[in-house]
Amino acid sequence: MQSIAHRFYRGLRSTRVGLIAFTTLALLTGVMIGFSGTPSAGTPAHPPPDPVSVQSLGPSDIKLTGRLSQTKLVQGTSDGIYLSLEVDAPAASASMTPKIATDLIVVLDHSGSMAEENRLPFARQAIIDLLNRLTAEDRFALVIFDSSAAIVSELAPVTPTERERLIPIVQTIQPGSGTNMSAGLFKARDLALRSASERSRKILLLSDGQANEGITHPTEINGIARNLSTSGLILSTIGMGLGFNETLMASLADHGMGSYAYLEHLGGLGAILAQNLSDSRHVYARSSELEITLSPGIALLDAGGYPMSQVSSTVIRVPTGQILGGVKRRLTLTFNAPTGDLGEFGLGDIRLRYRLAAGPAEVALAADKLRLAVVPQERRSEAVASVDQTVIKESWLGNNLGRLKAAYRDAVSAGDKDKAKASLDRYDNEAQKVEAALGAPIVDEKTRSELKRMEQDLDDAFAGKPAEQAQKQNRLSKKAHAEGLEAQRSK
C-alpha cells in the first residue's frame, strides 16, 4: 500500500417531499453519534487561561462566519444541527507578526526501533535537508530522546559555519533504547524558554514509537503540549512507520496548535519538514481556540474532530491551532437541539480567541447566525424550506465522512470487521436517503469510489495469516485516522 502523508489542518417545495427530507434530516444526529461514539466534551482537561485583555483590531482582522444547516425545526423531532464555520485570516503583515524568521527545535526519537527500515537514516537526512533551507536569520536546535533526553545543539543562528558544524553531529546520531517522549518535550520547552525570541517559534516532534517511559498517560502528555502553546510555542508532530500511537500524536498537535502528519515509509519526510518550515513563515496567529457557550438544553456533539474541553456546565473550549495568513479554514460543529417547546431560541455564543505577536484578541460569530425556531407539525414545510442544501452537502462530503472514518478506524483498530463494515453501510444508506429526499446528489462519484475502496481495504486487512492481518489492520487504522482528520478540517 502506498505510503501517505496527511496534514492536520476543506428547493424543496412539495409537502410530501419535504416531509421525507425533514424526517431524513432528523435521523442524522443519531447516525452521526453512532459514527463518533460518546461526545468527548466532558474529557478532563486543563485549558489555557482566559486572555487577560482583548484588543480591538478593526476590519482587517480575522473574520468568523457561519451557516446553519437549517433554521427551523419541527416540534417533537430529534434534530442534528450542523454549523459550518469559516475562519478567514488576512495575509500576515509586519504589524501582526514580528518577522518571517523562525526558531525551530527538532525533537527526534532515536529509540531502538528507529533502527528498523532505515528510519533513523531517513530522519537524519531530512533534518540535514531542513538545515539547508534555514538561513542566518533563523535559529535551530536539536533535542534527541530515547529512555532519557539530551540537547544536542542549543538554539543558534544557522550561519554557514553553524550549518557545517551541525551536519556531522546529526549524521552521528545512533539508535538508543526506550521512548521517553515527555523528557524530549520538556528539554525542548526549557531550551526555548531560556532563549527569548520574537521569531515564529516551532517544535517538531518526530517519533516512531509509543510513549513507554517517563510520562505515558495521554492526558498528561497533552498537558505538556498545552503548556508549550501558552508559552508561545507551536508543536507539530510527525508519526513515522507503523509503531507509533496515531491518536496521541494527532492529539499532541491539536493541543500544541500545530499540525500532524504520518508516513509509513520515510522518503517524503523531508517534504513534510519543509512544509512545517514554510507554515512557520506565514503564521498570523500563534494559537487559537473556539469558546462555545451553550444555551440551556443544547449539546455540542462534535467540533471538526478537534478535542473538546468542558470547562463548565455550559462552556466548551476547542483548540483550533495556529492560523496562517491568507488562508481560509473551515470546520463543522454538530449540535443537538431540544424541540419540545415552540418559539425561537439561540444555540449560544461562539467566539474565536487567538494570540498575535502583539497579544490576545477575539472575534465573535454574529448572534443572528445562531438563531433557530421550533414550529408546529402543521408548519413542517417551513422547516424543510429552511434547509441549506449546500451546508448539508458539504457536511456529508467532509465532516460526516471524516466522522465515519474515525468510527471505521476505531473498529479496525479493535479488530472488529463487522463494526467497521456497518459504519460504511450506515453512511451510504443514510446519504442515499438524504439524496432521495432532496432530489439531488450530495455524495459525489469520488466519495462513492472512496467508500468502495475502504470496503476493499477492509476485506484485505482481515485476510491472510494472523501476523499479516495485524500489520495490515495497523496500517489501515493509521490511514483512516489521518484521512478522517483531513476530511473534517478542510481548507
Which of the four pLDDT bands, split at 50, 70 and 90, describes residue 48?
A: very low
Mean pLDDT over residues 13-29, rounded? Answer: 39
Lowest mean pLDDT among 44-48, 230-234, 477-481: 44-48
Radius of gyration of the chain (CA): 23
What CATH architecture does domain 102-281 belong to?
A: 3-Layer(aba) Sandwich (3.40)
Do 295 and 315 contact (CB within 8 A), yes or no? Answer: no
Which element (helix H / strand E) includes 307?
none
Which of the four pLDDT bands, split at 50, 70 and 90, describes residue 440?
A: confident
φ, ψ dihedrals at 240, nearest 5°: -120, 135
pLDDT for 53 beyond 50: no
Tens digits of per-residue pLDDT, 308-363?
A: 999 999 999 999 999 999 889 999 999 999 999 999 999 999 999 999 888 899 99
Q: Which three cell numbers stand for residue 72?
A: 427551523
SS3 category, 290: strand
d(CA 291, CA 316) in angstroms, rounded, equals: 6
User: What pLDDT does residue 79 have?
Assistant: 65
pLDDT for 399 beyond 70: yes
User: What pLDDT does residue 103 have?
Assistant: 94
Between 143 and 267, the more confident residue is 143
User: What pLDDT does residue 489 have?
Assistant: 82
Mean pLDDT over residues 410-425, rounded? Answer: 97
Mean pLDDT over residues 150-177, rounded? Answer: 96
User: What pLDDT does residue 438 have?
Assistant: 75
Q: Report the mean per-residue pLDDT for the chain.
A: 86
Q: Which of 312, 313, 316, 345 shows the shortest CA–CA distance to 333?
A: 316
Tens digits of per-residue pLDDT, 270-309?
A: 999 999 999 999 999 999 999 999 999 999 999 999 999 9
